[in-house]
Every structure is written in structure tokens, then in C-alpha cells.
Structure 1
Amino acid sequence: MCYRGAGRHADRHGGVAGMASRRHRGGRMSELFAFDSSALVPGDAFEQYRQLYAQGADVEPLASPFFARVRSWRLDRYLLFAREFGGVRHYRSERIARDGFDHFVLHHVVSGELHGGRFGAPKTIKAGQTLVLDTREPMESGADAVQLITVSLAREAMRAAVGDVDGLHGHCISARHGALLTSVLRALVQQVADLAPAAHAAITRTLVDLLSVAINPVGSTARSDFYRQEHVRRHTVRRLVDAHIADASFSVQHILAATGMSRAALYRLFEPQGGVARFIQMCRLDQLRKRLDDRGCDRQSLAELAPTLGFSSESHAGRLFKQAFGISPGAYRTASGRGTQVSSVAMMVRLWDSALAEIM
């Protein structure tokens, strides 16, 4: 299976996925995966789409004709999708407990209408509006024909934007209140292929700020200010770790000395990520993933990359990478490196799972 830059649904709907696909392929960042039902045998298209989403949602056909085009990118603590689909409904109900998802999803409607929200009580989300969903809660979304920009966002980033996230599930951001946020999202979909990895954290901070304005147009609360400060501290530590990524001895002591934080405050800050040591390890793994994914990167072997990222050996890096992302570094590079198009739903699912692991 390959993603075609234009197809009958691109001509018919002319959506954000189509606009992004017309950009050149020479950017620094490759896609996470891409799916296009028009590239498939009609009888197989829905079943392959259902398999693609099976890890996170149940999918059922509607009376209207089915089509789907999806392009996706992994950035800093969020995933970005340009999507067009119709004749399909996605829902999460009984599977909530076993999935263990813990992030938020934003669906911005570019054109058409999305019927989504709380499971069993969907709203009609019109063009210009944005639906907010909490993956801890039962939900659904479907359409006869819709173009979306979807963002999967870490819970800590949503807390940084709004503070108290209780009651956000099913919230609809109006076109007026969300205008700045959605303008950036639309531009981001068109420019994402050209973004250097170093720009990702800055874009995340911008999206957090604009999401705060969209949901709390009258101003942030004391609680959101507290979470915003924690969010900034995490980014500060992340930049510190990245600056010393090649130093295998880099530890908690170095962070304490550089930031002036107390040990208790530092441990509390990274408790949701499994502790400071685990966070440092994930920073190393994320840098390895970016090196494997970056189209502008020389084709260094894993043996060459491992010591530059603080791993003790090639086997050490490979073992930790597969434990974290469910795929070996070699298989990941084959699937996503240097413009290679993902050719199977099974590989798309593995890449998607590895990406979700970073925002849980």
C-alpha cells in the first residue's frame, strides 16, 4: 500500500491532506504514516482502515460511501494528523479500561461536519469549530464527509493550557475563540514536512498558549498558571538533557546543579514520566528516533549513533528502543526513513503505537 499524492477524494474534497501532499518531499521530517483508501481495492479499503484504528477505536461503516485519507506526523509531546474521511464512525466505550490511554484529542473541522463527543450523545461540530475529547472517557466521532486536523496531546500539556481538565470532554471550541489556534494548526499541516526537530518544542509551547486562549478566552486561572510553570520546567530540563545527550554520566545531580531545583521538586515533576532517570532515558531514545527519522541525517549505523546519544552500546540502544516503542531501530528506519512510504497496515500500527507511548 502506498499513499498517492492525489486521488479521487483529493479532487472531490480538496482538503488539508491533499494540500499537504502537494508539498515537496525534500523536507527534513518524514511522516509517521499515511493511508489512502483510493490506493486500495474497494473491497479491502474499509477492512484495512479498521485494522489501522483497531488499537485505539472500534470502527463501523455508515450508509454513505466510505473513503479515508490520513497523513500523520510525530512532534514534541503531540501527534498531528491531516484527515479526510466519510462513511465511517469511530467509537471507544468498553475498551477504555483496557486501553489505558491518558491523553487528549482535538478535532478541528476544516470543512464538512463531524458528529462526535461523548459516547451516545454526539454533537454536530461544524467547519471552524474544534472538538475536545479525553481518551479516558467513552467517545465517538463519525461523518458522511469531513476534513479534519487532529491533534493527540499529552495530558500534562493540556493541564498546562487550562489547569483543571475535568469537564473538558466533549467541549466544543467555537470558531471565534479558536481562530488563532486553528490558524496555526492549518499552517502547521502545510509546513510540518520542512520543520527541523529543534523547532518542535517551541511549536508545542505555542500550541499550549493558544489552546489556553481558545478554552479560557477570559484569561488563565491560578491552577493553569501552576501547570504552565511545571510545563516550562519540564521543557527546561529537557533542553538541558538534550544539550548533554552524549554524556553517559549525565544524571539527576547535574540537573539539580544547573536548575537550582530541590530534589523533591524535581522528582515530583517527573513522577508521571516514571522518574527522572526514566525521563533521561526517554530523551535519549527520542533523540535516537529523530536521528533515524530525519531525512537530512547521514545514514549512520546504530553502532555509530548509540555512543553519541549516551548509550553504552549498540545492543543497549536497540534493546531499550524496542522496549519503549515496540519496534526495532532498523525496522523503524526502514519504515519511516528517507522518504520510504510505509507499505503495510501492520507497520503503520506499530509506528502509531510507538508514537502514542511518548504522549501517555
Structure 2
Amino acid sequence: MPSRQQRDAWRAWFNPVFDLNWDSDEAELPFEAESTTWSAGGAILSRVRAPKLHSLRGAHHVRRDPTDHWVFAIGTVESHITLGDRDLLVPATAPFLISLGDPVESRREADDRLHLYLPRDRFAALAPELDRVRGQVIEGGLGQLLADYLRLLERAVPGLVADDLANLGDAVQAMVAACIAPSAARAAQAATQVDLTRLERVRQAIRRRLHSATLTPASLCRDVGMSRSQLYRLLEGEGGVIRYIQGHRLRAIHAALSNPADDRSIAAIAESCGFYEPSTFSRTFRREFGATPSDVRAASRCGVPLPAAWRPQMQAELASLSACLRAF
């Protein structure tokens, strides 16, 4: 929108749930912002990228718009929150829970944040636990796990089909319950969601250190805060820790070789991803992709795609003997 209309448009989007304030010297400045919202199985997931904000939900907003959803928020900068007579400083990346049934005021600098809205009717089973921790930061390892889960939802939800979305609410409920009121039973209910979230955390850690010679199972355990046994159990279905790391490195090499603008030698690209023995690298690469590194580079530079490597078409619910043996 034209810059002169941006602030009014942003205010109109959030009205009457929230109102927005800004200083007189900010009123004429552009306000380039983006809000994206997804349905998530009865929950609502929202990502907001916006400049400096001062938002208000006063008693008159609560009366005018009796929305009483719970809202988890995680941001990349700290937030100043006022709830009644309490002033709180919420650290960056920490989940914070409010109820839209309560007046609340928030101030923060430019941020990129996620919100998970939980309607009371849909998530009534969690009402006692959510009301107990509303107005609080969810701290520690469980808080970080919940933050990672919201980021995983952001990446996954846009690609889900209707049937998957219909079942997502129960998974969200189980995960939230496990993080705010942990128990053995709730941990068991949320086990799949917890494992998916931990796997995403491992994937991100590997991507950050993909070109590091010190990326090992031991260092990965330290990076993601898991014990060796936890990490090996988590990646058992992925072929093991070493194989999982190797797979990410091979795909990074394949991407580099497929980029005509990357003029590094094949050996240099391989070494940058931890492969120092040419014959071992070439054999491993060919086993993974069904073509040699030279074939991939030549095809990229000629603009001729290689035929896809043959893969078996698996129709079974379990895709390997190993998976069958673990399941039965």
C-alpha cells in the first residue's frame, strides 16, 4: 500500500482486538509490515513482521470484542509487557502466554514473531493449565521445545492437506500440554510431536555447521542439548547419526555442483563439506545420487538434466525391513 496508508491499514487489520499507538514523529513514517495467518486444526497460527510497535488491548477492547483466546507469542527481540499492575520483560525467543480475556499492553522494537491462538472452546481441556501459566514466560528446556515446535508448525502448515489439518488440533493440544504441564502420560501423547520438533532442531544445527570439520555426533549432542542415546534413538529411523549428517552434506555438494556459477573444483566443494578422500567421496556420492560428481557438474553446465536415479516405489505403510522389525 502507499506509505501514507500503511499505518491506518495495519491498525484496521487488528481492530477491534488490539489498538496501536505511535509517537507523533512516527505517524508519517512508512510502515512496511506483513501478517500471514493459517488455520491449524482449530488453532490459528500467525506470523507478523513489523517495525517498532506499541499495541494495546484495554478493558474497553475486551468488552467490545469478547475474544478470549489464549495466545502464545515468540519473537526475535525482547518485549515489554504490561498486565494490570505487572510489568514484564520477555526475552527474545522465549514463549509467552496471554489471554485475550485480559487487558494487555505490549511494546517492542522491529520484530519477526509467531503467534499461536488457541480458542477456549476448542482447547477447553487445557483451560486449567493455560490459565495457570497465562501472563508468564515458558522458561527452560520445555519453553525452548515449544518455541521450536511453533517454528516447525510455521514451515509445515502451509503444505498440509485438509485431512492433515483436521487432525492437527489434537497434536497441537498434546504438545502444548506436554510443555506447560508435563507428566508421563502427556509426554507419551506428545511423543511424536516432540520427536519431530527435536529432529527439526537437529536439522537446523547440522545446516548451521555443515561446512565445519568439527561437526561430529558428540558436538551435535552439545549443540542440541541431547544425550548420545537420545540423539541416536531420534535418528535411528533416518539411518543413524553419521548417515544423517552425511546425507545433508551430500545434498549440499549436489546443490553446489548443480550451480553453474560455482566455479570451485569438485575436490574443493567436497572438502568444504567434510569429504577429504576423493575416492571415498566419489563412491559415496554415486551411491546416493546414481551419478558421479563430474556427471552432475557437466549436466548443469550444459543445461541437460540427468535422468533421475532409480528408486523403488514403496506402497507399504512401512518403507524398510528395519522399520518392520522395530514396529512388530
Higher relative contact order (CA 8 A, sep 6+): 1
Give me the TM-score of the superposition, normalised by structure 1: 0.46
Q: Normalized against structure 2, the TM-score is what?
A: 0.50
